[in-house]
Amino acid sequence: MTASEQTTDIVEGLPTARSCPFSPPDALGELRERRPIARMSYADGTLGWLITDHDLGRELLTHPDFSSRHELRSSPVPMAIKPMPAPPGMFIGMDPPEHTRYRKPLNRHFTVRRVRELEPAIQRIVTQHIDTMERQGPPADLVGSFALPIPVQVISELLGAEPGISEEISRLRALTLDPATPPEEAGAAVRATNAVMAELVRSKRRAPSDDLLGVLIADGEMTDEELTGLAFLMFIAGHETTANMFSLGTYLALRDDKVRAGLTGVTVLSDEAVNEFLRYLSIVQFTSRAALADVEIGGVLVRKGETVTLSISAANRDARRFPDPDGFDFHGTENSHLAFGHGIHQCIGHNLARAELKIGLPELFRRLPGLRLADASREVATRTGHNTYGVLELPVAW
């Protein structure tokens, strides 16, 4: 079937309305059953495609004729600025060989073995923030007191940033991630974050160190501009999704006795349990690719230049891949979820994120066994319509 033959039934933008805060929009599940790849209109007025099927998603993410370059892709949700080419070092928006050149030197810093060596530091940071919560007493916003600062501090220490930088990045990212922040202030916060990264790189060049940035500087393969972009990317990718996993995962446990019971009485979560949190909640909602040539996928012809968006949240609830897609199973063994993407662009920090979750979530409920929503009658606002899903704040007591 050609693209022109499928333009009569167009999905008007990416569905975002949810009937449950822990499940994908209902419309995505309906699409997956009827049209696993559907024609969709994008926020900039162009036409492209939407994939909601797990196997088609894996095919998209590994196909050599689909590009990750920012400037080639349309956004399925409204954006304040027009997509621009990725600046030096921001390899997430690049294709090989540029993508490979930036990513390859980082691989050794995020192996299973290296992350295992970081686990005592992760435990220390988690303990530190729960200590602070206990000292200050309830109520507290779990996002600001636990979910956001822990991954920010972890990635800060990995890069070699001083505690003051970690605190400043937490403040700036809170502004950037808050939908209520005026666009000009959010833009200023992004620029300020980049300036902090640039100064960090300069300081590392003046005083050599053995942390991640110090090693990259010693390698001598990248300019300061490239290192600044890479550090900026590492900070953002290294905390934003994990922070939302912490807060939304906690919210799920406070609303679901079965999930809470699975977090109680364990020191660390099993790999299976971590995978289930990642699959079930699917913090990253979608990812997009641009066709570099005419490509047939899922029985339709995608024309060169068209954008194809994969709904990760829908693909991770695909009954053709997961036996009980809408149920939560702590002992599930299926590890083919797409929460971290797939292929050469799979999240480089997935082992680090897993370690933070397996330590942080059970420790929170071990130390604060009476944890509860501060006001159970109050609706918890979520980041609906954003690529990174989660809660805006989570007021808790104990």
Tens digit of each residue's pLDDT (9 = 90 or more) over 265-280: 899 999 999 999 999 9
Question: Residue 9 maps to which CATH number?
Answer: 1.10.630.10
Tens digit of each residue's pLDDT (9 = 90 or more) over 228-260: 999 989 988 888 899 999 999 999 999 999 999
Nearest to 394, CA basis, from 385, 379, 363: 379
Terminal-to-terminal C-alpha distance of the chain? 57
Q: Please state the domain count of the chain.
A: 1
Q: Cα 69 to the chain's mean position, in Å?
A: 18
pLDDT confidence band for 5 (50 / 70 / 90): very low
Task: Compute the average pLDDT of residues 329-347.
Answer: 90
Nearest to 212, CA basis, from 200, 199, 194: 200
197 assigned to some structural domain: no
Tens digit of each residue's pLDDT (9 = 90 or more) over 176-195: 766 677 888 888 888 898 89
Cis before 24? omega within 30: no
390 assigned to some structural domain: yes
Question: How many other CB atoms are there within 10 angstroms of residue 121's CB atom?
Answer: 14
Q: Residue 66 is which amino acid? A: F
CB 109 within 8 A of CB 351: no
CA distances from residue 9 to 29, 38, 223, 305, 394 in whole angstroms, order as listed: 17, 8, 49, 20, 39
Residue 169: what pLDDT? 74
Tell me the C-alpha distance between 140 and 370, whole Å: 13
77 assigned to some structural domain: yes
195 assigned to some structural domain: no
Q: Residue 93: which domain range? A: 3-148+239-397
Residues 6+ apart with CB under 8 A from 20: none
Residue 183: what pLDDT? 80
Q: Residue 382 is which amino acid? A: T
288 assigned to some structural domain: yes
Q: Cα 30 to the chain's mean position, in Å?
A: 24
CB 363 within 8 A of CB 128: no
169 assigned to some structural domain: no
Strands (E), 181-260: none
Nearest to 150, CA basis, from 166, 136, 139: 166
Tell me the C-alpha distance between 4 and 48, whole Å: 11
287 assigned to some structural domain: yes
